[in-house]
């Protein structure tokens, strides 16, 4: 059973992991904090033995570079996509903070974009990307189900406690990701 077919199980496992870390820290006098990550994308994103599905951003960029067209289901759904350098900066800030107020922090761009908006921006950067919206996930190459839709995560805690504000706009993150992918070819 994959996370796509059972998003509730994925959520339960993530929350259980947060609780496990919190309890372990309490028992052994340690500090622990959880970062709830939005959709990260950017350089170094590639298939590995434990991860075969790339972010929607990387899937769009790779399809454009390969001259493939994509059928997209859920094209009007929102995603909070965050460039990996911002993700790293947020986690470093949390790790190095002398004190933190909360046990859980959202780590993301704090802004949601429709998948269609992301696809249009990618197509501007990579004109060979052709995509179309489809109504049936079974025929789609890229799928965002309603249960996977994500609005912009609230970054107030992260901003207050460590002064984090994302530095990379969607456009800049796409450009940097594209440059890395082109360099990898």
- Over residues 90-147, the pLDDT tens digits come to 999 999 999 999 999 999 999 999 999 999 999 999 999 999 999 999 999 999 988 8
Co-location of 68 and 144 in the same domain: yes
Co-location of 59 and 147 in the same domain: yes
Co-location of 56 and 6 in the same domain: no
pLDDT band at 6 (very low <50, low <70, confident <90, very high): low
Is 70 exceeded by the pLDDT of residue 53?
Answer: yes
Q: Which of 61, 63, 52 lies closest to 81 in space, CA to CA?
A: 61
Structure tokens at 136: 């049936």
The domain total for the chain is 2
We report the CATH number of the domain holding residue 170 as 3.40.50.720
Co-location of 28 and 63 in the same domain: no
Which range of residues forms the domain containing residue 15? 1-32
Co-location of 135 and 177 in the same domain: yes
Co-location of 39 and 23 in the same domain: no
The residues, any chain, with a CB within 8 Å of residue 73's CB and separated by 6 or more, are 133, 134, 135, 136, 137, 139, 140, 142, 143, 144, 145
Is 70 exceeded by the pLDDT of residue 7?
Answer: no
Co-location of 16 and 79 in the same domain: no
In a 13 Å sphere around the CA of 70, the CA atoms on its Cβ side amount to 27
Co-location of 3 and 72 in the same domain: no
Co-location of 126 and 115 in the same domain: yes
């Amino acid at each position: 059973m994959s996370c796509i077919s059972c998003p509730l199980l994925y959520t339960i496992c993530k929350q259980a992991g947060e609780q496990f870390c919190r309890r372990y820290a309490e028992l052994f006098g340690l500090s622990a904090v959880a970062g709830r990550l939005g959709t990260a994308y950017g350089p170094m994103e590639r298939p590995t033995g434990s991860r075969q599905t790339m972010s929607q951003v990387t899937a769009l960029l790779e399809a454009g570079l390969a001259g493939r067209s994509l059928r997209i289901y859920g094209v009007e759904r929102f995603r909070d996509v965050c460039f990996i350098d911002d993700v790293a900066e947020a986690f470093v800030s949390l790790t190095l903070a002398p004190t933190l107020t909360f046990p859980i922090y959202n780590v993301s761009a704090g802004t949601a974009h429709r998948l269609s908006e992301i696809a249009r921006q990618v197509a501007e950067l990579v004109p060979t990307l052709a995509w179309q919206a489809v109504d049936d996930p079974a025929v789609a190459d890229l799928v965002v189900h309603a249960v996977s839709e994500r609005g912009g995560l609230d970054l107030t805690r992260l901003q207050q406690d460590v002064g984090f504000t994302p530095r990379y706009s969607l456009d800049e993150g796409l450009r940097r990701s594209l440059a890395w992918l082109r360099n990898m070819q």
